[in-house]
Structure 1
Amino acid sequence: MDTRKFPRLGITLRRAMLGAAALSISSTAFAQSGTPDETLPQSVGNEPAGEAIIVTGSRIAASGFSAPTPITALDQEQLIEAAPSTMADALRTLPALTNTSGPQSNSGTTNGGQSFLNLRSLGRERTLTLLDGRRMVPSALTGSVDANLIPSALIQRVDIVTGGASAAYGSDAVAGVVNFVVDKRFEGVKLDAHYGLTEHGDNKEFKATGAYGTSFADGRGHFEVAGEYYDTKGVEPIDRKWSRQGNTFINGPAGGPTRIISSDVLSVGTVGGMILNGNGGTADANAALGGIQFLPDGSMAPYDFGSYRAGSQQIGGDGVNTELYQALARPMSRLNFYGRTQYELAPEVTLFAEGLFGRSRTTYANGANRHQIGNPLTIQADNAFLPDEIRDQMLDTGVTSLTFLRHSRDRGLVTTRNNATTYRIVAGAEGDVSGWHWEAYYQRGQSKQDNDIFNMENVPRFLQAVDAVESNGQIVCRSSLANPANGCVPFNPFGANAPSEAALDYVLGTSHSVSKLTMDNFALNASGTLFEGWAGPISAAVGAEYRKERANVTSDIDSQNFAWIFGNPQPWSGGYSVKEAFLELQAPLLRDVAFAQELDINGAVRVTDYSTSGSIASWKAGFSWVPFEGLRIRGTRSRDIRAANVNELFSAGRQFTASVTDPFNNNVLVRGIPNIAGGNPDLRPEIANTLTLGAVIQPIQVPGLSMSVDFYNIKIRNAIVTITPQQVVDQCFGGNDFACNLTERDAGGNLTTIFGTPINLSSQQARGLDFEVSYRTSVGDLIGPDTQLSVRTLASYLDKLENVVPGSPPIDRAGEVGLNGTPHWGGNMQMRLSSETLGFFMQGRLIGGGAYDNTRTSADLSLTKIDPIFYLDTQISYKLPVLDRGVELFLDVRNLLDKDPPIAPAAANIAMATNSSVYDLVGRNFRFGVRVRY
């Protein structure tokens, strides 16, 4: 079906019934259930037989109803096989979550050790992450939740809903919901541990998890606790051939593409400093002083501009390879704990309480204190540290000053340390009365991030210190002549080892900021049967919720004065409250008639009142139709919402640096442009109209075979987006006055500042298809008694991912794998053999090829297309004949074929040779581990 011709029509083949397939979740690579919220007749994990298993997508307790919304369910064993390192790494193997972020290489100074889920590549802020159907306190100011805080040892399964969930669960579920379901009845002990490293001997990793659960008071009470420790040492870019070659874009020569890709692309300048040109004299006199560099000991040497130079970059020569600044995988350590207890106060009333604590720490390099062509230093002719021969030449030729470049690394690179701490407590009661199940709870959570950036240049101090002169036989800062008590210490910039320790103490410092988010949440929910209808029970769920979120950011005084060379977080605080009420209904309409073995409908409505933007409604309507055994057709139409988070509303700003291609200046690449981001209190909630249509087929003639294809179309109005610096410049060039107001230029027309402000776009749209083929069967004693074979293929096709900025033409990013991580095609292919003693698992991951940038042609870029890549993973396990086969050893190998990522340089101020949000950066990785269950 060509969905471009029929954008509102899609036919889906999906698994018809949960049945035996749902009961075999633990032995299938991933289980995507067609009837996810049925009451299971046998136990799953440690849930007792017959207990309701409620899957994200509906608030109504299990009642034999088949949810009309596509849901993917993964149990704990599947998560471990998909990726044993972290929960987020396991989830991002799914095509719908490929663009999920993590601690892999990226530019920036915040959230360095956290992983945020991103469904449909619509942005992490549009994926709602829940724990047992309840919200988690955000881990970041953007409202996102770090998936690695979730207690993996007690996770029974993860349910993923890919559309139409706002009416059931509230704001932020525009792209969908990821719900982590805790095993509340776990009994016994489990211990898991593994050690990992790459074949290069780096990225050393250790992980240990444990859980304990027991009943007390004759079974009326239950207690369980889990803990996890994770530590990884990361990978430096120098340790991979593809990442140390300086592969990036450079402005091309006349007659060819505007930007060409090359290896050995360097930033003009040196660590010890170099003279770019003179100023104030004749053109020849100014040029005669250019091209002199200073070696570590301060001695002079000619500077080699390489084989080709364009603006602030060159190919070869004596420049600086900025690709070596940022780690490919950032080092990180993490510790979290989770505990839960419940007690049956009366036969129909149970009290419960749970607590979660998580802490992560990561330290990583960001780059150098760079003074390059965009922000050079000016050295006056009377500078006291200037070599005599340079000064004499300046005086003889009338040159008054020098333009000087320096990548200052006097005490090493600028380094960020991020400490994140989160706690969450929940207390409540639940019970049953007259056939209705009710729950009431209160939860409070707090997330705190301490962010320190070391070796940061204090720009006002540095500029004063570099401007050194001689006075009465002593070298002093020029500023000290007028103010002797200003404390300025002269800085010698001529050579990497030239500055004194006192000078470094004066010009370098630490930027410090603390962000704290708190959330309070009260909720009351109930669900049950209203009455018996002609085809079955009419069920309902009703509830109300009050939530308050607040953020507070503090920073050092130098940041508040924008003194540091980048970063400079500004202090701010702000918050909002939300009042919500919802109603959900479901009803069977037909049973066992000529054209409908089953026909069910489901609907929900939620009214949400935000203190910042007023009231708004979300709703959904869906159907599930089984015309005959083995085929189920279903669909939903919903209105989903997302209100602005505290950062989008109230942030006072933070300074970054950006690289942009400037269409006002012959499309040359300009690096190091200050980009100041801030909030917008006038933002309105975004509204998404979502359509999903599907059909599920499980032919009765071939037991164990399931096939599916799902169509989705998400159209967002008033989409809240902070447009990128490149988009700002491009939109301004296209005549968008709003975008032009977000830029500043000097008298020569050169970009000096770009502002990033969240706005409500006219629209945003995501449209595509999901496919699945799976098969499960017994293969006798192939690798041991009762060997089971499971094979499964998941694939996604992203047909459209379009943004529209007011007053500008639409931009469709679907099919980009360079500038963005949004390929048309993604796939996950799995095969598992399991017996009582042995297990063998193999997984293939496809990342489709595509364009580097859909908005650029071969006239703009020499690199326009990127080839697809296929990764292969495997895991072998063996259960020892001890503790009733409760001890299992395993060997896991990721990226078995050791595929390097394709060259697809990031559009960032620091060169990166590939798209770190999509591709594997570390290569073949081994993990050896043990699992214990008793």
Structure 2
Amino acid sequence: MNQFNKASLLASTIMAGAMIASPAQAQDADVTTAETAETSGQSIVVTGSRIQRTDLESTNPVAVVSSEEFRLTGAVNVEQVLNTLPQVLPGVTGFSNNPGNGNVTFNLRNLGATRTLVLVNGRRWMTADTNLLVDGNTIPQFLLSNVEVLTGGASAVYGTDAVSGVINFNLREVEGLELNGTYSLTSEGDGARYQFNGAIGTAFDDGRGAVTMYASYSQRDPIFQGARAFSARAAADGCIAPGSADAQGIGTRFTGTGGIAVAGCVGRGGELGYLPGGSASTPIASIIAPAGTFIFNPTGGGSRPFVDPDDLYNFAPENYLQLGQERYLAGAYGRYEFTDNIEAYGEIAFVRNEVPTRLAPTPAGVSVPLFVNSPFFNDQTRTVLNTNPVSTTAGPTLGNPLYRQTQVNFRFNQLSGRISNFDRDAFRVLGGVRGDITDDLRFDAYYNYSRTTNTVLQRGNISASRYRNALTVEFVPGSTTQLRCVDATARGAGCVPINPFGLGLANPAAIDYISVNATNVTTSEVINAVGSINGELFNLGLGADDVAFAAGVEYRKNRAEFIPDEFLSSGDVLGFNAGTPTAGSYDVREIFGELRIPILEDKIIHRLELNGAARYSDYSLEAIGGTFTWNVGADLAPIEGLRFRGTYARAVRAPSVQNLFGGLATGFPGAIDPCSDRGPAAERTAELRAFCIQSGVPAANVFTRDVQPNAQIQADFGGNPNVLQETSDTWTVGAVIQPSFVPRLNITVDYYNIVIDGTIGQLGGGFANAISACFNTIRNPTDQICQPFFGTRNPVTGALGQNSGGRNPLIGDANVGKLENSGIDLQVDYSFPLFGGDVSLFYLGTWVDKFRNTPNLLFPTRININEGTFGSPEYRHNVRVSYAKGPILASVRWRYEGGTQDFRIDNTFVGTARSVQDPATLPTPFIEAYNYFDLALSADISETLSLNAGINNLFDKQPPILGSAAEQANTLPSFFDVLGRDFFVGVNFRF
């Protein structure tokens, strides 16, 4: 950890100590630990347990975010507040354009959204896709009473997925009629977000029943990357001057015409052109040494030498920076006491969420025989095409000298951008009954069903086969100027010759012919039934509460499917790998129990309590079968106002439908086949040669280019029905300080340590790792790592993959890695009177001691060191200071993100040595600490009307500009504020 981060943590600790010495009284803080809230003596359930109790003390570290925090930030979506908490790192957000799918996910401790369990009112919520993730867009933010964030494994209480922790959104009962709205706008005058909400709630039948009904509409306007200086031009390594304040480079000039690609340019984002005589991976010296690199004139016909970087295509401006959104929410929840001892309850929710993503126009690249005498070319360009001596026989008819086999690349600006509209419809219904069996025994049983359908309409796509047809042309018989498509079947289907050799020269009819829209549909269903009892057993007679328990059974079924469009499924859509359907389901039957043992209270010490929980889960998946999870905890208060607590938990994450049943997708990963001549010569041993021959490489071809003619190897990727569950071990230890001599001061400090074994990923940690591990280390044809490379080689050349005459190796999901995360959370909240009002101070900080990822357990010493790297600072905090007097409240928030460095500088152990990259060779090696300041003001105008307004990112702090380490938009838009200064206003009516 750098010295500045250490100093920040020390200063925060000193601030907490200073507040201990300052007696005062004031109101509750906006964000609290579970211990700070007060109860009225009724039984409640704390997140992390099913046992009812009359206090909010918990052995688990639980932070509670109140609804007031959402109001003071003008939040329309829940992630706007959750992602600013130090424990939560952004998952998929409203700034996730590529990759992005319209979802919002939550990522506790940066361990992955699939390892964070999301609940609403303590129960499972609707899932959104084949990964079984919860979409935060489906949660009605304006009805929240609070959000509880629990750290650590909780599978013994809630089942699978509670590995890194639990986020529980609690909804409140509404009394009367509430109407409210929020409007936000950036200082640039764009990115408007607004929301209108209505809720009505009433009690009836003398208070025996209560119901809340609600509806909400919200809209978010998109912002293009071209609207911000930091994202208007696509930046890459080598195009950013190290240390430059304005580090922007490539894409200075718009180019939409074709060009001729050569070595060094291939793969550079967005350049356009054609490569005569072969594919881009063929050695360039043997292809077009005389002609060099050319680009077509915008007006067409002629070509000129390609200029780097002036002629590079700037794909950035047309991409979304902030995604648009239109969302509709509606639902109801209520309860009714049939008798004094039995109460029925229910919930129903409907969500319609529409989110588009947008990329630059399709970069279309195909290899076709070009008609040299086409009127699309002038004599100079025909000379360029005829310069290539290796393609003299290529064409629709062998030996035809009028054609040259050519790789034609073009950016289809005439077709506009590639737009994917994610239209998600979600429905959830829950019904249950609870009540008292005796004075000391209670029951609760409910059934929960949800279904989400996500329809994705993709526009701006290009059919590869139709594009080839439209490029492969000939003269109409009897004409020397008019062209037609060579393929008669294609002509019958509407094929029109296309001219991509200039800017805007393509015939609209040709554009219509090659363009396709694709519709993909994903469905996710959850059935969840739970029955439990809880109560008190006996008392140990040492002044403490009764020994309490909870026990029950649970059934859960997950089903999901993905149905791709026929074009996507066939692999005929340019820019997308072929996708196949995914469909599958599994269920689990579980039995669980908890025990809380208060041992003594006010006997020698103030309090001592032990607790534990266990759950057995029987999966329908043969590979998993049964799993056992458990946790134990202790709570010791030597004196009133000082508590020590600790937990140890075993938790699991079951594989998702995607992990288990994901359809095959074809990809072209960059990798080195050790049996070819591309690997280090020193590794070409006799033992390796023998194993290569055993795998199917002809003896004469071992260690030759025939085994791997291309830098990429074609392979298939998909699910694996034999993948196992992930297993985690978590232990926490902490202290809670609530000194009686300083009323309303609360300090909590907790150390956490989470280790997850068997993390699910691609077999071997990915194709490149798998093939290296098989041939260089394992060399066992029956090992699962080696099986993809046996029986898949071309028997003549030894090459892998269909495009090389073999079969595609299958790299399925497997339990391949390990994650470790440990650190310290410190939270302080304090309030006191001042000048006739009340001051409240709140601090929440997290220091990450260790965040390590072992992507491939076959190489246990190769460990990624992630703490302190981009997107994963070692230290983060939130500080909020508020002053309330009468109906007015003013508040300022300080968000701090610690400094980070590029992960390539010092992040990987390889054997016993580290792989280190010189910071001077990186475009942006370090990011300094970021400080954001936000202001908010609220006023209760009357008993029925309140107003709030504020400014987020008051000083208009701009995000850092990165090169290849960027997530998108040249930066990390989900982590850093990309909107700039942002204003909001809100109004709330209560009747």
**Offset at 1:845?**
1.2
Aligned counterpart in structure 2 of residue 354 of structure 1, from 343, 347, 358: 347
Q: Is the 8 A contact 1:849 1:865 kept in 2?
A: yes
- Identify which range, 862-871 or 52-61, moves more after superposition: 862-871
1:33-60 Cα distance to aligned partner (Å, 9 max, x none): 2377xxx543xxxxxxx43332211100
Q: Which residue does 2:48 correspond to in 1?
A: 57
Aligned counterpart in structure 1 of residue 951 of structure 2, from 893, 914, 917: 893
| Alpha-carbon distance in structure 1 between the residues aligned to 2:445 and 2:620 | 23
1:249 counterpart SS class = coil
**Offset at 1:366?**
2.2
Aligned counterpart in structure 1 of residue 60 of structure 2, from 63, 69, 72: 69
| Alpha-carbon distance in structure 2 between the residues aligned to 1:447 and 1:90 | 25
Q: Which residue does 1:431 correspond to in 2?
A: 435
Q: Do the aligned partners of residues 769 and 889 (structure 1) sit closer, same or farther apart at CA in structure 2, a change above 3 Å counting?
A: same
Aligned counterpart in structure 2 of residue 775 of structure 1, from 804, 815, 830: 830
- Identify which range, 633-642 or 335-344, moves more after superposition: 335-344
Which amino acid is the alignment partner of residue 816 of structure 2? L
Q: Do the aligned partners of residues 529 and 796 (structure 1) sit closer, same or farther apart at CA in structure 2, a change above 3 Å counting?
A: same
Q: Which residue does 1:226 correspond to in 2?
A: 214
1:96-149 Cα distance to aligned partner (Å, 9 max, x none): 1122321204413x522x211110111000111111111112112211111221
Q: Is the 8 A contact 1:164 1:636 kept in 2?
A: no
Gaps of 5+ in 2: 3-12, 18-24, 263-274, 279-283, 393-403, 681-709, 779-783, 909-914
Q: Do the aligned partners of residues 769 and 25 (structure 1) sit closer, same or farther apart at CA in structure 2, a change above 3 Å counting?
A: farther
Q: Is the 8 A contact 2:34 2:56 kept in 1?
A: no
Which amino acid is the alignment partner of residue 513 of structure 1? N
Which amino acid is the alignment partner of residue 857 of structure 1? V
Q: Do the aligned partners of residues 268 and 722 (structure 1) sit closer, same or farther apart at CA in structure 2, a change above 3 Å counting?
A: farther
1:275 counterpart SS class = coil
The answer to whether 1:198 aligns with 2:249 is no
Q: Is the 8 A contact 2:595 2:612 kept in 1?
A: yes
Q: Is the 8 A contact 2:129 2:560 kept in 1?
A: no
Q: Do the aligned partners of residues 443 and 503 (structure 1) sit closer, same or farther apart at CA in structure 2, a change above 3 Å counting?
A: same
**Offset at 1:797?**
2.3
Aligned counterpart in structure 2 of residue 928 of structure 1, from 985, 988, 991: 985
**Offset at 1:665?**
9.1
Which amino acid is the alignment partner of residue 858 of structure 1? Q
Q: Which residue does 1:559 correspond to in 2?
A: 568
Gaps of 5+ in 1: 3-11, 17-23, 43-49, 307-315
1:386 counterpart SS class = coil
| Alpha-carbon distance in structure 1 between the residues aligned to 2:28 and 2:668 | 48
Q: Do the aligned partners of residues 842 and 486 (structure 1) sit closer, same or farther apart at CA in structure 2, a change above 3 Å counting?
A: same
Which amino acid is the alignment partner of residue 275 of structure 1? I
Q: Counterparts in 2 of 1:579-618, with a 5 A limit?
A: 579-594=589-604, 596-612=605-621, 613-618=624-629
**Offset at 1:889?**
1.7
| Alpha-carbon distance in structure 1 between the residues aligned to 2:891 and 2:786 | 54
Q: Is the 8 A contact 2:191 2:220 kept in 1?
A: yes
Aligned counterpart in structure 2 of residue 457 of structure 1, from 459, 462, 466: 462
* TM-score, normalising length: structure 2: 0.81
Q: Is the 8 A contact 1:790 1:833 kept in 2?
A: no
Q: Which residue does 1:537 correspond to in 2?
A: 546
Q: Which residue does 1:46 correspond to in 2?
A: none
The answer to whether 1:130 aligns with 2:82 is no
| Alpha-carbon distance in structure 2 between the residues aligned to 1:406 and 1:755 | 32
1:222 counterpart SS class = strand
Which amino acid is the alignment partner of residue 568 of structure 2? S
**Offset at 1:804?**
3.8
The answer to whether 1:842 aligns with 2:892 is yes
The answer to whether 1:276 aligns with 2:285 is no
| Alpha-carbon distance in structure 2 between the residues aligned to 1:13 and 1:691 | 26
Q: Counterparts in 2 of 1:70-109, with a 5 A limit?
A: 70-108=61-99
Aligned counterpart in structure 1 of residue 650 of structure 2, from 620, 630, 639: 639
Aligned counterpart in structure 2 of residue 442 of structure 1, from 420, 439, 447: 447
The answer to whether 1:805 aligns with 2:842 is no
- Identify which range, 745-754 or 682-691, moves more after superposition: 745-754
Aligned counterpart in structure 2 of residue 814 of structure 1, from 866, 872, 891: 866
| Alpha-carbon distance in structure 2 between the residues aligned to 1:933 and 1:675 | 60
Q: Which residue does 1:698 correspond to in 2?
A: 738
Q: Counterparts in 2 of 1:856-875, with a 5 A limit?
A: 857-859=916-918, 861-875=922-936
| Alpha-carbon distance in structure 1 between the residues aligned to 2:879 and 2:763 | 35
Q: Do the aligned partners of residues 903 and 530 (structure 1) sit closer, same or farther apart at CA in structure 2, a change above 3 Å counting?
A: same
The answer to whether 1:829 aligns with 2:910 is no
Quote the RMSD (CA, aligned, Å).
3.7
**Offset at 1:491?**
1.9
2:841 counterpart SS class = strand
> For the pair shown, which has the larger CA radius of gyration, 1 or 2?
2
Which amino acid is the alignment partner of residue 256 of structure 2? V
2:663 counterpart SS class = coil
| Alpha-carbon distance in structure 2 between the residues aligned to 1:15 and 1:60 | 32
**Offset at 1:341?**
2.4
Q: Do the aligned partners of residues 65 and 562 (structure 1) sit closer, same or farther apart at CA in structure 2, a change above 3 Å counting?
A: same
| Alpha-carbon distance in structure 2 between the residues aligned to 1:627 and 1:476 | 90
Aligned counterpart in structure 2 of residue 522 of structure 1, from 529, 553, 556: 529
- Identify which range, 636-645 or 856-865, moves more after superposition: 856-865
**Offset at 1:589?**
1.3
Q: Which residue does 2:409 correspond to in 1?
A: 405
Which amino acid is the alignment partner of residue 362 of structure 1? V
Q: Counterparts in 2 of 1:132-531, with a 5 A limit?
A: 132-184=121-173, 186-250=174-238, 263-266=248-251, 270-276=255-261, 279=276, 286-306=288-308, 316-371=309-364, 379=370, 381=372, 385-392=376-383, 394-395=385-386, 398=389, 400=392, 401=404, 402-434=406-438, 435-472=440-477, 473=479, 474-480=482-488, 485=492, 487-531=494-538
Q: How many residues align?
A: 874
Q: Which residue does 1:913 correspond to in 2?
A: 970
Q: Is the 8 A contact 1:153 1:226 kept in 2?
A: no
Q: Which residue does 1:794 correspond to in 2?
A: 845
Q: Is the 8 A contact 1:76 1:156 kept in 2?
A: yes
Q: Is the 8 A contact 1:66 1:624 kept in 2?
A: no
Q: Do the aligned partners of residues 736 and 681 (structure 1) sit closer, same or farther apart at CA in structure 2, a change above 3 Å counting?
A: farther
**Offset at 1:655?**
6.2
- Identify which range, 401-410 or 205-214, moves more after superposition: 401-410
Q: Do the aligned partners of residues 276 and 534 (structure 1) sit closer, same or farther apart at CA in structure 2, a change above 3 Å counting?
A: same
**Offset at 1:477?**
2.4
1:797-826 Cα distance to aligned partner (Å, 9 max, x none): 2522322413223323422543xx222111
The answer to whether 1:759 aligns with 2:814 is yes
Identical columns (%): 27
Q: Do the aligned partners of residues 451 and 483 (structure 1) sit closer, same or farther apart at CA in structure 2, a change above 3 Å counting?
A: closer
Q: Do the aligned partners of residues 806 and 319 (structure 1) sit closer, same or farther apart at CA in structure 2, a change above 3 Å counting?
A: same
Q: Do the aligned partners of residues 27 and 739 (structure 1) sit closer, same or farther apart at CA in structure 2, a change above 3 Å counting?
A: farther
**Offset at 1:328?**
1.0
- Identify which range, 526-535 or 862-871, moves more after superposition: 862-871
Q: Which residue does 1:902 correspond to in 2?
A: 960
| Alpha-carbon distance in structure 2 between the residues aligned to 1:370 and 1:836 | 61
**Offset at 1:250?**
4.1
**Offset at 1:659?**
9.0
Q: Is the 8 A contact 2:845 2:878 kept in 1?
A: yes
| Alpha-carbon distance in structure 2 between the residues aligned to 1:511 and 1:780 | 64
Q: Do the aligned partners of residues 484 and 279 (structure 1) sit closer, same or farther apart at CA in structure 2, a change above 3 Å counting?
A: closer
**Offset at 1:299?**
4.5
| Alpha-carbon distance in structure 2 between the residues aligned to 1:914 and 1:723 | 30
Which amino acid is the alignment partner of residue 79 of structure 2? A
Q: Do the aligned partners of residues 395 and 440 (structure 1) sit closer, same or farther apart at CA in structure 2, a change above 3 Å counting?
A: closer
**Offset at 1:684?**
0.5
